[in-house]
């Protein structure tokens, strides 16, 4: 019996053509040998690594056949986890899968925690933490761009870039420590030269942070809210962007009361778009709750689409929203521009909201949506997205660590500029390295690891 061998279903629960059960650990091969009978009668121990065998899973107690399966073996250390791994492809019915899992448990395996296979891969040095996190990001990717970035991270492109910065820091630290430990041999640190190196590092880290902010949007989606007084056409826009009738549209003001959230793939940028209740003073209890939620989502949004109705004059309800808007993250949409008689022009809006971005659209006729996506891209990415820049960080955890690294590098830099003794400056460099090491997992704590892997699915 071993605590050390884990088992999980690697495919979604329910009926499917195939169910995959995965075992990893010291006893994986022994467990497989006790429950698998190959058609060719080859012994499990003699099966070549990375090859499949057809056979039956049998109940080891009475030899009753449970299912006909394909079994593959990947011996450690050249396996996903770095340990011996066995995968059983059985028929994808819940009964069969469950029965096979039960048999592995009776033979000494234990159920895997979420992400435990990947955690073992990390602990066994098969992946660094950035690569491990990329695994879940590939599974969760909402757009092709997000998937591409994650795949590049898994292949280690981001890790390579991080290693480069790490080497720069290690070099400075080594020189400083040598001059502290062996002052006679090494002599004083060349501060002007160190300052140049630190400046270069600081620029590299800053650039990574800036790109990482875009990366996070590509991974998690841009929190976008459509806001405006009742009946301007907010739900119609949501439907137009989704190309389906998701939200109820009527000519009755106050139609939408609850928050409706959907994900739209806008040429590679995932928009997490929220349609809200039209904002107005109302005595209706339910509507008022919706209005309050709309105001809250306005505060949390990365991007605000403020909608006006071009067929009516600007009302007090429109004006009540103006004070909540910020130029940096708002696009004004002048809707219903398909109608001949208009009461608001772009100039009228500019009088109210100087230097705001304004677009004429028709949610009903689906006009102006291309211009909208162009403006969104410009706002978020400062123009076209460069696909080759895929070795970027995408996680808040990475950004936090980069920001802490940058602060320590800046502290070290100002220490060097003020000619502070090297034994003090070296502390900042060491802290910078520690923070930086959290990204790839070189200096990460058990708590952080648990949090990261708890995000994973069982069986991954
Ligand atoms: N002509 C024209 N009518 C539109 C357009 N967009 C929306 N409408 C109409 O305006 C009315 C209100 O549309 P909704 O999408 O329900 O408006 P809303 O802003 O979601 O309204 P609430 O949910 O009540 O806040 C409906 O009758 C729509 O058909 C447009 O671009 N052109
Ligand atoms: Mg609505």
Of 28, 33, 43, whose CA–CA distance to 83 is shortest?
Answer: 28
pLDDT at 338: 96
Distance CA 154, CA 425 (A): 35
Higher pLDDT, 198 or 251: 198
Q: Is residue 120 part of a domain?
A: no
Q: Is residue 406 part of a domain?
A: yes
The alpha carbon of 234 and the centre of ligand 1 are apart by a number of angstroms equal to 6
Pairing of strands 6-9, 16-24: antiparallel
Asked if 39 and 107 sit in the same domain, the reply is yes
Residue nearest to atom 3 of ligand 1 (CA): 336
Q: Is residue 131 part of a domain?
A: no
386 band by pLDDT with thresholds 50, 70 and 90? low
Asked if 28 and 41 sit in the same domain, the reply is yes
Ligand 1: which atom is nearest the Cα of residue 275?
20
> What is the rounded average pLDDT of the residues 154-172?
94
Residue 371: give its domain's CATH number: 3.40.50.300
Asked if 320 and 291 sit in the same domain, the reply is yes
Residue nearest to atom 11 of ligand 1 (CA): 251
Asked if 198 and 231 sit in the same domain, the reply is no
pLDDT at 334: 97
Distance of CA 434 to the CA centre of its chain: 23
The edge-to-edge listing of strands for the beta sheet with 260-266 is 260-266, 269-275, 222-227, 303-309, 330-335, 357-360
pLDDT at 458: 82
| Predicted TM-score of the model (pTM) | 0.80
Asked if 161 and 201 sit in the same domain, the reply is yes
The alpha carbon of 396 and the centre of ligand 2 are apart by a number of angstroms equal to 33
Q: Which of 381, 411, 430 is the last residue of a domain?
A: 381
Ligand 1: which atom is nearest the Cα of residue 231?
21
Question: Minimum mean pLDDT among 247-261, 325-339, 358-372, 379-393: which range?
Answer: 379-393
- Tell me how many domains the chain contains: 3
> What is the rounded average pLDDT of the residues 116-131?
95
pLDDT tens-digit series, residues 10-60: 998 888 899 999 999 999 999 999 999 999 999 999 999 999 999 999 999
Asked if 376 and 412 sit in the same domain, the reply is no
* Burial tier of 206 (Cβ tally within 10 Å: 0-12, 13-18, 19+): middle
Residue 149: give its domain's CATH number: 1.20.120.430
> What is the rounded average pLDDT of the residues 269-290?
86
Asked if 213 and 71 sit in the same domain, the reply is no
CB 5 within 8 A of CB 25: yes
Question: Minimum mean pLDDT among 116-130, 210-224, 342-356, 379-393: which range?
Answer: 379-393
Number of neighbours of residue 298 by Cβ within 10 angstroms = 20
Residue 428 Cα distances to 172, 374, 408, 415, 425, angstroms: 11, 43, 5, 9, 5
Asked if 190 and 150 sit in the same domain, the reply is yes
Whether residue 385 is predicted with pLDDT greater than 70 in this model: the reply is no
Asked if 269 and 372 sit in the same domain, the reply is yes
Residue nearest to atom 17 of ligand 1 (CA): 233
Asked if 278 and 209 sit in the same domain, the reply is no
Residue nearest to atom 16 of ligand 1 (CA): 249
Q: Which ligand is nearest to the CA of 362?
A: 1
Whether residue 282 is predicted with pLDDT greater than 70 in this model: the reply is yes
pLDDT tens-digit series, residues 396-444: 999 999 999 999 999 999 999 999 999 999 999 999 999 999 999 998 8
pLDDT at 389: 62
Q: Is residue 118 part of a domain?
A: no
The alpha carbon of 249 and the centre of ligand 1 are apart by a number of angstroms equal to 6
Residue 61: give its domain's CATH number: 3.30.1360.120
> What is the rounded average pLDDT of the residues 142-146?
86
Q: Is residue 390 part of a domain?
A: no
Question: Minimum mean pLDDT among 7-11, 139-143, 291-295, 333-337: which range?
Answer: 291-295
> What is the rounded average pLDDT of the residues 191-195?
94
Show the domain range for 416.
140-217+395-454
The alpha carbon of 259 and the centre of ligand 2 are apart by a number of angstroms equal to 9
Pocket of ligand 1 (CB under 6 A): 228, 230-236, 249-251, 253-256, 277-278, 335-336, 338-339, 362-364
Q: Which of 381, 403, 419 is the last residue of a domain?
A: 381
Taking all residues of the chain, what is their mean pLDDT, rounded to a whole number? 91
pLDDT at 233: 96
Q: Is residue 126 part of a domain?
A: no
> What is the rounded average pLDDT of the residues 274-284?
86
Distance CA 420, CA 402 (A): 24
The alpha carbon of 335 and the centre of ligand 1 are apart by a number of angstroms equal to 9
Q: Is residue 355 part of a domain?
A: yes
Q: Is residue 386 part of a domain?
A: no
Asked if 54 and 192 sit in the same domain, the reply is no
> What is the rounded average pLDDT of the residues 192-204?
96
Asked if 443 and 375 sit in the same domain, the reply is no
183 band by pLDDT with thresholds 50, 70 and 90? confident
3-state secondary structure 413-452: HHHHHCCCCHHHHHHHHHHHHHHHHHHHCCCCCHHHHHHH
């Amino acid at each position: 019996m071993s605590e050390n061998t884990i088992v999980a279903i690697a495919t979604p629960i329910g009926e499917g053509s195939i169910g995959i059960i995965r075992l990893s650990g010291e006893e994986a091969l022994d467990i497989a040998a006790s429950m698998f009978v190959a058609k060719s009668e080859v012994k499990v121990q003699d099966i070549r690594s990375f090859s499949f065998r057809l056979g039956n899973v049998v109940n080891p107690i009475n030899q009753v056949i449970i299912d006909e399966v394909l079994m593959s073996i990947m011996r450690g250390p050249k396996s996903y986890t770095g340990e011996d791994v066995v995968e059983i492809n059985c028929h994808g019915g819940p009964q069969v899968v469950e029965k096979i899992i039960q048999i592995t448990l009776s033979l000494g395996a234990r159920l895997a925690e979420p992400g435990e296979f990947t955690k073992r891969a990390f602990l066994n040095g098969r992946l660094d933490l950035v690569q491990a996190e990329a695994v879940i990001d590939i599974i969760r990717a909402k757009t092709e761009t997000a998937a591409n970035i994650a795949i590049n991270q898994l292949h280690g492109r981001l890790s390579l870039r991080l290693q480069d910065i790490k080497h720069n820091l290690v070099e400075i630290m080594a020189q400083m420590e040598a001059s502290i430990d062996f002052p006679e041999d090494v002599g004083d640190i060349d501060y002007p030269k160190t300052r140049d190196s630190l400046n270069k590092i600081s620029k590299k880290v800053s650039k990574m942070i800036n790109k990482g902010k875009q990366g996070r949007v590509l991974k998690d989606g841009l929190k976008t809210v459509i806001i405006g007084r009742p009946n301007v056409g907010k739900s119609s826009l949501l439907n137009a962007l989704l190309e389906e009738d998701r939200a109820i549209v009527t000519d009755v003001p106050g139609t939408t009361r609850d928050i409706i959230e959907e994900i739209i793939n806008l040429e590679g940028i995932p928009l997490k778009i929220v349609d809200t209740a039209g904002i107005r003073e109302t005595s209706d209890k339910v509507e008022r709750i919706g209005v309050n939620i709309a105001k809250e989502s306005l505060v949390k949004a990365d991007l605000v689409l403020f909608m006006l109705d071009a067929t009516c004059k600007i009302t007090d309800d429109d004006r009540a929203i103006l004070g909540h808007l910020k130029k940096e993250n708002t696009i004004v949409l002048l809707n219903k521009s398909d109608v001949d008689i208009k009461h608001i022009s772009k100039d009228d809006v500019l009088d109210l909201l100087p230097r705001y971005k304004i677009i004429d659209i028709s949610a009903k006729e689906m006009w102006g949506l291309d211009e909208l996506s162009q403006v969104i891209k410009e706002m978020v990415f400062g123009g076209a997205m460069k696909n080759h820049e895929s070795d970027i960080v995408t996680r808040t955890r990475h950004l936090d660590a980069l920001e802490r690294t940058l602060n320590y590098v800046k502290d070290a830099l100002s220490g060097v500029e003020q000619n502070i003794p090297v034994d003090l400056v070296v502390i900042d460099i060491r802290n910078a390295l520690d923070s930086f090491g959290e990204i790839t997992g070189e200096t990460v704590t058990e708590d952080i690891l648990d949090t990261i892997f708890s995000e994973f699915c069982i069986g991954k």
